Amino acid sequence: MSTQNSGSDLAYLSATEARRLFETRELSPVELMRAVIDRAEQTEPVVNAFTERLFDEALAQARHAEDRFLGKGGLAPRPLEGIPVATKEKHAIAGRSLTEGSLVNTGVTATENAPVIDRVLEAGGIIHARTATPEFSIATFTHSRLWGVTRNPWNPNLTPGGSSGGAGASLAAGSTLLATASDIGGSTRIPAAFTGTVGFKAPYGRIPGAAPLSADHYRGDGPMARTVDDCLAFANVLAGPDPRDHVSLRPKLVLPTEFAPVSGMRIALCLRLGAYDVHPEIEANTRAVARTLTDAGAVVEEIELPWTKDDLLMSLAAHFASLFGALVSEIEAQHRDLMTAYTAAFADTMAIARERVTYLDGLRTETRLQRELSEAMTPFDALVCPTTAVPGLPAGDDLLGRLVVNGEDHGEPLWAAMTAPFNINNRCPVLNVPSGHSTWGLPTGVQIVGHTYDDATVFRVGKALERLRPWTYTPDHRPSARQPGPSGRTAAPL
């Protein structure tokens, strides 16, 4: 097995193309893994996406994968055979650290694999690295006292987003082909938007999770990739019931790999979701996506939702204060001195919320918001809207005050991402795909929102957009991952 491609080109292969080259023996899994490791060694000093490198073990597993493709030992290649996969550190691997980015958990070791880890390994994926998150995965950025600052390869002065920031950064940097993610308020879609990658928030129960937050109907684990086909193939590996998660859906959904064109589809365009102030460049890129769909024969109609900031806050505050926030508050009560400032602030906010709203208050608002989305989407096959309201967030900033970028005030950080409404409506599948670039030096993204449990439709629209508005990481369209410099500039490439 051999290839003539450069190492950098190999590192940016799609997983589906790599698999094809493995099958035809034009590429060895060992060659691919070496290229990805070499790329990681180049970019990690700036990007800092990884919390743990498993490179030696990964190369050994790549040799075993090569044997499968060569027909040795009588074992057939599996769906992800030989593909490098970076997994979020919160996705437990038995016998390895499980800190969730917190000094509180220093020395904690996982006793069993998370369901998504088992799915990756059973499919032949090779976990060569684990990726950074903010502490307890609670933020829209990625930095912590334990791991330092993770930076966006497109502009290291800005964050790759969070909480799956290490996942998005590693995909953009070329140091992995696939990455696991999770999403409770946008933690998959925000980093996908900021890094120009594809992230899928599966509907609740589609992909099994780990207790106790597997029972939280706002959250779920999922796939990230650089292409829609890769994200789809990874979703097919991760989906399906698991006895450790009783809400995981059966039977397993297997998405098709080919879809009809979007011609004739009816798609709603919603720019502000009723409550958000959207940056002009985000709006322009979102409208460009809508025009592409119209040009392809879809009927696109602009709508507005009746959602208000007060209603969204009520639902989110009641829910987080009762579940995820309560879990963080338990830890904060004993270990506040070990926590980052943004985690302590989150715990304080949740304590106030518990005094002011009840879970029942939240359910009353939540079900109304769900009905309003359902009624608005009824005439349509899908809805398209921005993923974030601003083009980026500063790296290393706890965002405890106003959002200030390049000396400009962009409002309250809570409203920088437009993802949480679809955790409130978490039975809806949502796919983030790139929508363009901004003058801030980052890609931008749109959310494709489907009707409840209609995963296929969001991938149908996503595949069409990828074909019509290609964002492939070609040699002339890749981040340089330069050292961050003063005043928002970047220094020499690595």
Just list the catalytic residues: 88, 163, 187
432 close to 188: Cβ distance less than 8 angstroms? yes
For tokens 């002065």, name the residue: 157
Half-sphere exposure of 406 (CA within 13 A, CB side): 10
Distance CA 176, CA 6 (A): 16
86 close to 177: Cβ distance less than 8 angstroms? no
DSSP state of 159: -
Please give the structure tokens belonging to residue 74.
Answer: 């009588």
Nearest to 83 by CA among 173, 15, 13, 171: 15
Distance CA 410, CA 413 (A): 8
Distance CA 40, CA 19 (A): 21
- Exposed, middle or buried, 402 (CB in 10 Å: 0-12/13-18/19+)? exposed
Residues in the chain: 494
Please provide residue 402's backbone torsions phi and psi, each rounded to the nearest 5 degrees.
-85, 155
- Which amino acid makes up residue 203? P
Distance CA 309, CA 389 (A): 14
